[in-house]
Amino acid sequence: MAMVFIVWALMAFLAVGLEDSKALAITGSTVGINYGQLGDNLPDPTKVAELLEALKITKVKLYDSNPSILKAFANSEVEIVVGISNGNVAGLIDTQTALSWVTQNLQPYLSGTKVTGLSVGNEVYTGDDAALKANLVPAMRSIHTALVSLGLDSTIKISTAHSLSVLASSYPPSAGAFDPNIMQLLKEHLDFLGVTGAPFWINAYPFFAYKDNAGKISLDYALFKPNTGMDDPNTHLHYDNMLYAMVDAVYTALDAMGYGNLEVRISETGWPSKGDPDEIGASIENAAAYNRNLLQRLLKNQGTPLKPNAALLAYIFALFNENQKIGPTSERNYGLFQPDESKVYSIGLEGGLSATASFSAYTSSAQRRYNGAVLSMALQLLFSGLCSLCLVLPLLHL
């Protein structure tokens, strides 16, 4: 009887440990953060790495290949998407130049740093630079050729981040359709993603939609707060927040072009804590509500109404307020943190971006040590029990 109890206890402990591991994996797989560097007062990258470790954020998107940052995240669990600016795209069309870029800017750091993606250009197809639009996919192909030659193509996926303006129609979600003026360019891009297995990245900001249509759009709907939502008249799917409706409009547009199997990921989303007088809705209260409610959804491994079984991955914009960004006041106030690492506001999510993040990281480490000790004790008890049973069983046959 004692042996049965020991075996049962060990199995129960292992099951709990596996469930805890699964929960941690889910957390790490759905939440990322954009780490911009347009500030003259930002902390050293090593301190940023420590901050993200305490916050349990394991996915980071950069806007360049800063070697100091890549070194700072060496030997960590953080998966990094490296950015390539619009100004560098044209030069990477040449395959030898692309190979040189990879060997100089990526390869030296890959033994310790987990680079999982490359974001080539940003919102290219909704800009005015015709040459940049034409050069984007050829540059991506050349970089991919370089990754293949170095045996890195299976671990590093290449894509580009799109503005939601690539859609000519987004409401209702079932009417999602790409702008016909960029259709041919998009088809080449989507063909590349389909062949290489990379995701389709979208920068999606309910803030902009609300700011421009505050009289027509419910703030609660934009902030994931309780609201009546909307029903898509064609699919009869119910939407209780704007971001998921945006994502499903993209899925609909992709499906209409024959690429419905591509994964849509949110490369940027966020809400500013401060803005100019005409930037309606920009406030600390709204920024905290948006990011807190979004993170609660993401940490549940939740999908959208159209893709309920496909967990949505989103990169929050941004880690820090950046004082050198140009444009309206909001551009310098998307950060969750000030450059001195103090919180702009509290997310209040246990185990995530919250005031208790550092304590949570400590207690999780302590819990792992405790679990290891208990597991060791259980194994010792099991071994002792088996040895005792081996001694007793021969006597039972006498």
Tokens found for residue 328: 């309206």
d(CA 333, CA 268): 14
Q: Is 241 domain-assigned?
A: yes
Residue type, 60: V
DSSP code per residue over 279-303: STT-SHHHHHHHHHHHHHHHTTT--
Residue type, 393: L
Q: Is 77 domain-assigned?
A: yes
Residue in this structure with the two tokens 């990526």, named with its chain if needed:
106
Q: Which domain holds residue 282?
A: 30-359
DSSP code per residue over 17-45: HHHHHHHHHHHHHHEEEE-----SSPPPH
Peptide bond into 43 cis (omega under 30): no
In contact, 314 and 264? CB cutoff 8 Å: no
In contact, 229 and 292? CB cutoff 8 Å: no
The burial of 94, by beta-carbon neighbours within 10 Å (0-12 exposed, 13-18 middle, 19 or more buried), is given as middle
Tokens found for residue 367: 């819990």
* CB environment 144-162: b (16+ within 10 A), e (fewer): bebbeeeebbeebbbbbbb
d(CA 333, CA 136): 30
In contact, 343 and 320? CB cutoff 8 Å: no
Number of domains within the chain: 1
Q: Is 301 domain-assigned?
A: yes
Q: Which residues contact 292 (CB under 8 A, 6 or more apart)?
A: 347, 348, 349
Q: What is the pLDDT of residue 32?
A: 95
d(CA 267, CA 316): 8
Whichever domain contains 41, its CATH number is: 3.20.20.80
d(CA 8, CA 11): 5
CA atoms within 13 A on the CB side of 100: 7
* R_g of the chain computed on alpha carbons: 24
Q: Is 137 domain-assigned?
A: yes
Q: At what angle do helices 357-396 and 45-55 cross, to 10 degrees?
A: 50
Q: What are phi and psi of 160, to 5 degrees?
A: -145, 150
pLDDT along the chain (398 residues), means of 10: 42 39 45 96 97 92 98 97 98 98 98 98 98 98 98 98 98 98 97 98 98 96 98 98 98 97 98 98 98 94 95 97 98 97 77 39 39 47 48 44
Active site amino acids? 123, 268
Q: How far is CA 12 from CA 24, 29, 66, 74, in A?
A: 19, 26, 46, 36
What's the distance, Cα to Cα, between the start and end of the chain in Å? 21
Q: At what angle do helices 95-105 and 130-149 cross, to 10 degrees?
A: 70
DSSP code per residue over 201-234: EEE--HHHHHHHTTTTS-HHHHTT-S---EE-TT
103 alpha carbon, distance to own chain's centre: 26
Q: What is the pLDDT of residue 384?
A: 53
Q: Is 40 domain-assigned?
A: yes
Q: How far is CA 55 from CA 38, 112, 296, 360, in A?
A: 22, 21, 15, 8
d(CA 298, CA 316): 11
Q: What is the pLDDT of residue 147?
A: 98
Q: What are phi and psi of 205, to 5 degrees?
A: -125, 95
Peptide bond into 318 cis (omega under 30): yes
d(CA 32, CA 93): 29
Q: What is the pLDDT of residue 238?
A: 98
d(CA 146, CA 159): 15
Q: Is 391 domain-assigned?
A: no
Q: What is the pLDDT of residue 276?
A: 98
Q: Is 253 domain-assigned?
A: yes
Q: Is 9 domain-assigned?
A: no
209 alpha carbon, distance to own chain's centre: 22
